[in-house]
Structure 1
Amino acid sequence: MPVICGLRNPGAQYQGTRHNLGFEVVADLARRHQQTLKRGPLRVRAEIARVQTPEMLLMAPLTFMNESGRAVRAVLAYYKLEVEQLLVVHDDIDLDFGRLRIQVGGGSGGNNGIRSIEAYLGHREFARLKMGVGRPPGSRQAADHVLRTLNRSEREEADMLVQDAADVVERWLTDRARAQEMAAHRRI
Structure 2
Amino acid sequence: MFVVVGLGNPGKEYEDTRHNVGFKVIDILAENNNIDIKKIKHKAMIGEGKIGDKKVLLVKPLTYMNLSGESVLDIYKYYKIDKDKIIIIYDDIDLDVGKIRIRKKGGPGTHNGMRSIIKCLNFEDFPRIRIGVGKPLKGQDLAYFVLSKFYKDEIPSLNEALNKSALAIETIIKENIDIAMNKFNG
Task: Give the whole-Å Cα distance in 2 for the aligned partners of 1:183 and 1:111.
Answer: 22
1:134-160 C-alpha deviation (Å, 9 max, x unpaired): 211221122211110112222232122
Matched, 1:176 2:174: no
Paired letter, 2:115: R
CA–CA distance in structure 2, aligned partners of residues 89 and 53 of structure 1? 17
Question: Per-residue deviation at 1:45?
Answer: 0.7
User: Residue 49 of structure 2 aligns with which residue?
Assistant: 51
Cα separation, 2, equivalents of 1:9 and 1:126: 22
* 2:66 corresponds to 1:29: no
Provide the rounded CA distance (Å) in 1 between the counterparts of 2:108 and 2:23: 18
Distance 2:150 2:60 in 1: 20
C-alpha RMSD of the superposition: 1.3
Q: Secondary structure at the match of 2:108?
A: coil
Query: Aligned residue for 2:63?
Result: 63
Q: Which residue of 2 aligns with 1:10?
A: 10
Name the SS for the 1:52 alignment partner: strand
Tell me the amino acid that sits aligned with residue 141 of structure 1. D
Q: What residue ranges of structure 2 are gaps of 5+ in the alignment? A: none
Q: 2:94 is matched with which residue?
A: 94
4+ residue segments displaced more than 3 Å: none
Q: Distance in 2 between matches of 1:60 and 1:144?
A: 22
CA distance in 2 between partners of 1:123 and 1:80 (Å): 14
1:51 CA displacement: 1.9
Contact 2:51 2:170 in 1 (8 A): no
Structure 1 window deviating more from structure 2 (164-173 vs 146-155): it is: 146-155
CA distance in 1, matches of 2:184, 2:5: 17
Deviation at 1:90, TM superposition (A): 0.4
In 2, Cα distance between equivalents of 1:105 and 1:161: 20
